[in-house]
Amino acid sequence: MTDSPPPPGAGPRLRVLAAMSGGVDSAVAAARAAEAGHEVTGVHLALSANPQSFRTGARGCCTIEDSRDARRAADVIGIPFYVWDLAERFRAEVVDDFIAEYREGRTPNPCLRCNEKIKFAALLDKALALGFDAVCTGHYASVVRGADGRRELHRSADLSKDQSYVLGVLDDRQLAHAMFPLGDTRTTKDEIRAEAERRGLAVARKPDSHDICFIADGDTQGFLAGHLGSAEGDILDQDGRKVGTHQGAHGFTIGQRRGLRIGHPASDGKPRYVLDISPVSNTVTVGPAEALDIVALTAIRPRWCGTPPAGPGAYTAQLRAHGAETPVTAEAEGDELRVRFARPVRGVAPGQAIVLYDGTRVVGSATIAGTERAVVTTADRQAG
């Protein structure tokens, strides 16, 4: 077993564990890895003790029917297939973490957490223990060898499908054993589906999964209320005046506009947005859009996709899975990352991930802990 396996289609034949979700992307990725000459074994991750509680059809990626679709795809490709039960680990590392973050007034990204703790930690550790060289997934991203010989994570060749943001949590060791066969070619999703049809894969026309797989009906607020309960609290304006009530601060996110149910309009008639969430006082502060402008932030628990940056540097940053890049300067100091934006950005919430890029290369990621606003609000002054 090598410490740094070569990319797909190059070098020696590798033992590859293909994570097969039951969707078209992971099926085509497994097929490409097998076609490249690698010894591929398919595995579907059972992430729920009660799969019926997860979404069905196009709405999720963890259902019984997904497991069956993955098995049928493996049979067509002609590779061994297994189902691995990681439900307990998934519950502890992803679902419980999601609930705990909202309890503290933060907005987590469970897909990043799943990639970090499940697909490229629990799964990879088990794969390496069994003698596999790499884990293959259907993510749209690229792993290349840099000038210093180390592995680098880059954006997908097709930027419209790039998923490097949700992979920004991967470290050196994980990248050394990661394989993304879909990330190196400019192939549209229609072309991926056409390729799946040519290969005889029944998932060719299966709709893509969306949203959060462990919330059965897509009602995130209802899910959180069921775990965290309901508790009436106040909705305040920037001056601390009560403008409405809510049934739990955990039901809101920074930047939210809809669903505030404020009884009367703002004095200027403009829409109001969620500016702050205080789980301690169970209050939500709202205000105008311009009060959402963020000029800097502090993030914690940085994870570097290679060598950590030395000193301050100029990068671009992405704040959401499908968000645009924005120029920043950033500097790592121990377990903190300090970032300043070249121009204000909006809708930044503690708990979200910020991912830094140097061109197409992913430098690393960190979890947003605090922000600096362009406009100082009453809540800011009270917090300070």
Of 116, 53, 58, nearest to 87 by C-alpha is 53
Q: Write the secondary structure of 55-85 as one string of H (helix), E (strand) and C (coil).
A: CCHHHCCCCHHHHHHHHHHHHHHCCCEEEEE
pLDDT score at 130: 96
In eight-state DSSP terms, residue 111 is H
pLDDT score at 380: 55
278 forms beta bridges with 283
| Rounded CA separation 39/34 (Å) | 6
| Rounded CA separation 130/186 (Å) | 33
Residues designated as active site: 114, 213
| Alpha helix stretches (DSSP H) within 78-163 | 87-90, 96-103, 110-114, 123-129
| Cβ neighbours of residue 232 closer than 8 Å, sequence gap 6 or more | 245, 246, 247, 282
Report the interhelical angle of 24-35 vs 189-198 (nearest 10°): 60
| Rounded CA separation 81/28 (Å) | 15
Length of the chain: 384
User: What letter represents residue 100's amino acid?
Assistant: A
pLDDT score at 36: 95
236 forms beta bridges with 242, 285
Paired tokens of 235? 């909705």
Residue reference for tokens 């419980």: 96
pLDDT score at 4: 42
pLDDT score at 258: 86
> Each residue's pLDDT tens digit in the chain (384 positions)?
334 444 444 557 999 999 999 999 999 999 999 999 999 999 999 887 665 544 444 344 567 788 999 999 999 999 999 999 998 999 999 999 999 999 888 889 998 999 899 999 999 999 999 999 999 999 999 998 877 778 899 999 888 889 999 999 999 899 999 999 998 777 788 899 999 999 999 999 988 776 688 887 778 888 888 898 888 899 999 888 899 899 888 888 898 888 887 867 777 778 899 999 998 899 999 999 999 999 999 999 999 998 888 889 999 999 998 889 999 999 998 899 999 999 999 989 999 999 999 999 999 999 999 999 987 655 554 555
Paired tokens of 152? 């680098």
246 forms beta bridges with 233
pLDDT score at 292: 93
| Rounded CA separation 166/253 (Å) | 20
pLDDT score at 239: 87
| 3-state secondary structure (DSSP) of residue 344 | strand
Tell how far CA 44 is from the center of its chain. 19
pLDDT score at 184: 76
pLDDT score at 303: 94
What domains sit in the chain, N to C, each tagged with a CATH number?
15-205 (3.40.50.620), 231-287 (2.30.30.280), 293-383 (2.40.30.10)
pLDDT score at 228: 87
Of 326, 285, 330, nearest to 309 by C-alpha is 330
